[in-house]
Amino acid sequence: MNRHLSILLLFCVYSYVYAQTPYDSFSPATSRPILDVVQNLDAYKDSLQQTQMDTTLATKNDVSKWLSPDPLSDKYPEISPYAYCGWNPVKYIDPDGRYFDEANEGTAQKIEAECQHKLSSQKINHNRRKELNKTLQDIADMRNDKNYEYRFESAPNNESEIKCTIEEGKNKVVTMYSNLGALDGTTAHEARHGGQIARGEMFYDEMGNPQNYGVRKEVDAYRAQWGWDGSLNVFSDIMGIPQNYHVKGYIDIDKVLVNSIIEGSTYLYPPRDKNGKLLIEEKIWKRF
């Protein structure tokens, strides 16, 4: 029955086509006899089905897809994991679906821009250039880290430090306190610690205590501070008596210098609690 209806429909269509004047611009250039169409109806049906399949496959393959879900979607249960850039792609750029925060990303971009500005100068030496490039890498590594959330904060009383807290239901939060208003070397100093954490060179345990942290990590951070400012001044007894000490160059920033830095009436390193008790064992401090 369906075959007869199909033949009848094709007959009507081709009858209409043949009724067109050969001079009509809408008539086909060549027309096949209706008998040929009827005899090859099954072939036409197969051709039509193949065309539909090709079109469907092409459509499926051409549509863009996500290769994986947002790796940090659990941190934002109120936002769909399918919501690119928190439903705001005009304002945010999120190339890999990882953590983003408007305020801290803004600070990170300022640090990067200032680094690039300093690097554009022809007057900086090799060691400064190396440290500034490492600071850029610190920012990139923190941005790409899935295990910690990083925040920049202004240090109360200009006392720069880094702390790790654990917020319920979220990742560990690393907060870097520095002189953000001036965006000086203390920011690069704490950012270096952030980079160390992001690269796994040091980490925090479940109690928020630093692990694999020692004098070498501070030497690295003070070199980042020197690279940013182009100079470094500390209060130290490295010359035998406590006094302001101007570090001459990159090579002078070593373990001896760090261990000689004084804050108030006590040595700043290794770090101690309010009662003067060491927070890190002496052997661990010397090792890392």
Encode pLDDT of 86-101 as tens digits: 666 655 555 544 454 7
Maximum mean pLDDT: which of 64-68, 83-87, 127-131, 280-284? 127-131
162 versus 63: the higher-pLDDT residue is: 162
Model confidence at 175, pLDDT cuts 50, 70, 90, reads very high
Position 178 in a domain: yes
Q: State residue 31's pLDDT score.
A: 44
Same domain, 141 and 171: yes
Same domain, 167 and 210: yes
Report yes or no on 210 lying in a domain.
yes
Contacts 24+ apart (CB under 8 A), 277-281: 279/209, 280/210, 280/213, 280/214
Q: Which of 34-43, 78-87, 107-116, 265-274 is the least confident region? A: 34-43
Rounded to 5 degrees, φ, ψ at 183 are: 50, 55
How many domains does the structure of the chain reveal? 2
User: Is the residue at 110 inside a domain?
Assistant: yes
Residue 74 and residue 79: Cα distance in Å, rounded? 9
Please indicate, yes or no, whether residues 105 and 90 belong to a single structural domain of this protein.
Answer: no
Triad 225, 107, 171: Cα angle to 5°: 95
Higher pLDDT among residues 180 and 269, named by residue: 269
pLDDT over 70 (residue 73): no
Mean pLDDT in residue range 48-75: 53
Q: Which residues contact 54 (CB under 8 A, 6 or more apart)?
A: none
Contact 145, 198 (CB under 8 A): yes
Residue 189's pLDDT is what? 96
pLDDT for 112 beyond 60 = yes
174 shares a domain with 205: yes
CA 268, CA 77: separation in Å to the nearest integer? 42
pLDDT reading at 49 higher than 80: no
Residues 226-244 have a mean pLDDT of 94
In this structure, the chain runs to a length of 288
| % of the chain surpassing 90 pLDDT | 44
206/83 same-domain check: no
The reply to whether 159 and 201 lie within a common domain is yes
Confidence check: pLDDT of 150 > 50: yes
Could you identify the residue written with the tokens 């401090």?
285
Is residue 230 domain-resident?
A: yes
Average pLDDT of span 200-219: 91
pLDDT at residue 233 greater than cutoff 50: yes
Looking at the fold, whether 115 and 236 belong to one and the same domain comes out as yes
Do 113 and 93 sit in the same domain of this protein? Answer: no
CB 187 within 8 Å of CB 138 = no
**Strand spans (E) along the chain:** 148-154, 161-166, 172-178, 203-204, 210-211, 232-236, 243-247, 262-263, 266-267
With cut-offs at 50, 70 and 90, classify the pLDDT of residue 103.
confident
Q: Are residues 156 and 88 in the same domain?
A: no
Q: Is residue 38 part of a domain?
A: no
Same domain, 95 and 214: no
Higher pLDDT, 180 or 15: 180
**195 inside domain:** yes
142 domain residue, yes or no: yes
Q: Are residues 209 and 130 in the same domain?
A: yes
Q: What is the mean pLDDT of residues 8-28?
A: 48
What's the pLDDT at 117?
95
Structural domain span for residue 80 = 71-100
pTM above 0.75, yes or no: no
Nearest of 154, 112, 152 to residue 135 by alpha carbon? 112
Q: Residue 155: name the closest of 183, 174, 127, 177 by CA.
A: 177
Please indicate, yes or no, whether residues 190 and 264 belong to a single structural domain of this protein: yes
